[in-house]
Amino acid sequence: MSYCLNPTCPNPENVAYSPRCQSCGSRLLLRDRYRVLEPLGQGGFGATFLAQDEALPGEPSCVIKQLRPSGTAPHVLQMARELFEREAKTLGKIGNHPQVPRLLDYFEEQEQFYLIQEYISGATLQQEVKLNGILTETGVKQFLSEILPLLQYIHEQKVIHRDIKPANLIRRTQDARMVLIDFGAVKNQVSQAATNQSGHTALTAYAIGTPGFAPPEQMAMRPVYASDIYALGVTCIYLLTSKTPKDLDYNPTTGEMMWEQLVHVSDHLTSVLRKMLDVSVRNRYQSATDVLRALEIEPYLESLSKGLLVKSDTNYKERTHNRHEDSAVLCSNPSAPPTGVGVAQVAAAIRARRAKTAEASGLDAGGMRQGSGTAKSTSLPNSNSNGSQTQLSKVERKLDTQGLLTAYLKGRRDFALHNLNLLNLQGVDLSETNFHSAQLQNTNLQGANLHNSDFGRASLTRANLKDANLSKAYFNHADLEGADLRGADLSHAYLSNANLRGANLCGANLSGAKISDDQMALAKTNWMTVRPNGKRGLL
């Protein structure tokens, strides 16, 4: 089919390869090369169309965005044109990033403005949730770990997207990577919008973003980088609940979105989302790196809350020399030198929340004797109102096979930091479980169902994962050296920064997995290994 771009055409659909529109007579081949196939959507000032470039071999697909403001007043047309040009400049500036559509062309023809972009084949997050249902906590963390570095890159280019939402995030078909689209609402600097002579601001309702996803300061025409953090937080709530902002209640006093009772996630992820969604921009995370740093310290919160982590920066640095994974507690860049700031801040916050109850028991907020510098691993009595005694003791993290399976059957899904070395878990169902920073060395997980589980920073050296279901599993910074992954299903798994030296991936399915060629080169593969692009064979 050929589709007519004339906004006033009464019947824009035409037979394929027609030279002119049968209804209005307009030429159907834009700039003698682009043929529109079908409309994709329309926003406040632009309509988008799927097209093919007939000037290139194979006639590849592309997206045409046409300036179509909904108003006709002169100032509206002028502002829409400025925003359209801004989108073209922004795409030209940042479109070399693999998670941003490339700008292919930009021109004016017959007093109409056109922007030609790379076509991204895939489903939006909105479509994914409608088709497959809501995401788990692990799925949301995977999403954040992929989109936050992109957001940081965009902000470093002094660009605020201002319209982050599920409909503007596409999972690209060929590599399962998340791509951010629609830069029509971008702002290229952080400053209050200037007022022109006509009394209208330089930005209109067309450009402030989507109500509910945009925070208060953005709706008031004063967007900052943290405005995108808020929109990303609202997107996470949608992924966890399938509810859009208009489906949610708001606190009439504070204006805060009321979502916490609708999600089933850990206390720590709740606190991260709460800070992303703070209506006060001062209290919100100020950068994507801040959010990544907050997510990195998750496995250590329980230790912090019990006062079991080190008591000084000196001790911390001494321990990080022996424990590689601790370096990520305090910095998002594993190669950067550790500092004590992150631990101190989190520990202080936890202790503040527990101050009142700790006072009554004669302990400080970290679960330690007042005035002492170390946590007590022995039991400490604490009298309650009934006169009975409760115990505060160090949590035992060693589990045997039966203990783990019993806990899982009773509904427990969090085994972070546990010692599960040498256990025989062949063929068991442990899907959607948190094994973050756990010890699973030489553990037998052959044929186990570990779908959507979190193995971030876990040690799986020489583990038997043959024929295991590891689809959508999270292995960021995990140690899989010498692990047996023959025939394992690792489709759409997140393996970035994982150590795969000597891992056996013969016959493993890595379609859609996030893994680099350098990582693959360290592992054993054969002609039966399904690579991330879906093709079989050696690298």
Structure tokens given for 111: 């007093």
Whether 32 is catalytic is no
Burial (CB count <10 Å: 0-12, 13-18, 19+), residue 485: buried
Considering 32, 53, 105, 163, which one is annotated as catalytic? 163
Per the rule left: phi > 0, alpha: psi between -120 and 50, beta: everything else, 471 is beta
- The helix/strand/coil state of 534 is coil
Structure tokens given for 10: 């009464």
CB 285 within 8 A of CB 229: yes
Structure tokens given for 104: 């292919």
CA 535 to chain centre: 26
Structure tokens given for 47: 């309509």
Q: Is 65 annotated as a binding residue?
A: yes
Q: Which residues, at least 6 apart from 127, have a Cβ–Cβ distance to it below 8 Å? A: none
Structure tokens given for 444: 């037998």
- The helix/strand/coil state of 289 is helix
Q: Which residues, at least 6 apart from 471, have a Cβ–Cβ distance to it below 8 Å? A: 451, 452, 489, 490, 491, 492, 493
3-state helix, strand, coil in the chain (%, to 5): 30, 20, 50
CB 106 within 8 A of CB 184: no
CB 369 within 8 A of CB 362: yes
CB 447 within 8 A of CB 467: yes
Kindly report the three-state secondary structure assignment for every residue of 74-124.
Answer: HHHHHHHHHHHHHHHHHHHHHCCCCCCCCEEEEEEECCEEEEEEECCCEEE
Question: What residues are annotated to the active site?
Answer: 163
Task: Give the residue numbers of the binding site.
Answer: 65
Task: Give the residue numbers of the binding site for ATP.
Answer: 65
